[in-house]
Amino acid sequence: MIEYLDRLDKELLIVLNGNGSEYWNSFMWLVTGKVVWIPTALVFIYMLFKPAFAGIRGHLGGNQLRAGLKEGFLLLLMIILTVILCDQIASSFFKPFFERLRPSREPELEGILTIVNEYRGGMYGFVSSHAGNSIGFATLVSLVFKKKWLSIFVFGWAIINSYSRLYMGVHYPGDVLVGAMIGVAVAYLVYYLYITIHRRLYYTSFIMYPEPPYDREDTRPAVIIIVVTFIVIAILSPFLEFYTTRPI
């Protein structure tokens, strides 16, 4: 059974791996790096603290301002916790425990896969921390904001980010799939922790368990930033050779 799954993983990767196109090599090189996280992270930080920003502008009272700051820092901490847990479970437990060679380091696949800029990653690849981090982040965001279009676009962002690892030949589909499953599981656990802490912070004799406020927020800025980020990457990829030939 293990041999069959391993063979299936390799055959799927050969299909999904990059085609050697200079344009798509540049595009995926940018997507798989850290730069793609920056605009997404900044817009979500803005959205987390938007209630507090409204208080600074004078629309909220002092208590509401403090509550907005407290809520923003709490959820920011939960997002950071999700990414750290996903990353460490993948990198500090799964990879050294299973010691499965990355496809880019598998002698059987040498010369078959497209390897972008000779980037091969570390020695072991099971599971993908990229998939865990991005899918975990997308899951937690979807649980908190509860907006259909935001969920669609943030998961689209996470899926493209995860696929870039297959394109570059540094992960098998199984690595990405299991990494994504870990991301979803961690996000649900962290969300439960978030709700538990939130209820304790806001428990009063008048309001028993107020729900977090983010499902009432306008999430269009995040959707726009995600779309614009990928449009900019798509447009600039052919002109960024000075960046896309540097190691990640």
pLDDT (0 to 100) of residue 205:
44
Residue 167: C-alpha distances to residues 66, 123, 145, 162, 201 (Å)? 46, 18, 31, 9, 45
Q: Which of 120-129, 155-164, 175-184, 238-247 has the lowest mean pLDDT?
A: 238-247
What integer is the mean pLDDT of 60-78?
A: 76
pLDDT tens digit sequence for 174-222: 999 999 999 999 999 999 999 888 877 765 544 444 566 676 677 888 9
Q: Where are the domains of the chain?
A: 26-244
| CA nearest neighbour of 204 among 104, 63, 7, 35 | 63
pLDDT tens digit sequence for 124-154: 989 999 999 999 999 999 999 989 999 999 9
Integer Cα distance of 93 and 244 in angstroms = 31
pTM for the predicted model, two decimal places: 0.88
